[in-house]
């Protein structure tokens, strides 16, 4: 395995933006990261709420508190047959 020492790398030129531009870039990235984290948290909260609603709906359907009816048209479409009124 080939090893690279500092002596090999030291003479290389590595272009970097000025310090002020680096700060601007970092601030922009921080703002975007914060916004993404807020959105991610909101999505996770909504997913949890939807799971709770789903569970409540299933419970209500199983216990007979609500009656779920499916129109014949939807059944016909799901089965692939032609629906005729």
Per-residue confidence at 66, pLDDT binned at 50, 70, 90? confident
Which segment of 19-23, 49-53, 57-61 scores lowest on mean pLDDT? 57-61
Residue range 47-58: mean pLDDT, rounded: 95
Contacts 24+ apart (CB under 8 A), 32-39: none
The whole-number pLDDT of residue 59 equals: 92
Query: What per-residue confidence (pLDDT) applies to 31?
Result: 98
pTM of the model: 0.55
Q: Is 57 helix (H, G, I), strand (E, B) or coil?
A: helix
Between the CA of residue 33 and those of 9, 25, 37, 40, 68, what are the distances in Å? Answer: 33, 12, 6, 10, 43
Which residue, 61, 62, 81, 60, is CA-closest to 72? 81
């Amino acid at each position: 395995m080939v090893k690279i020492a500092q002596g090999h790398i030291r003479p290389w030129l590595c272009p970097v933006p000025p310090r002020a531009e680096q700060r601007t870039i970092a601030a922009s990235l921080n703002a975007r990261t914060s916004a993404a984290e807020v959105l991610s948290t909101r999505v996770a909260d909504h997913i949890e709420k939807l799971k709770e609603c789903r569970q409540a709906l299933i419970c209500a359907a199983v216990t007979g508190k609500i009656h779920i009816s499916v129109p014949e048209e939807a059944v016909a479409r799901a089965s692939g047959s032609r629906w005729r009124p």
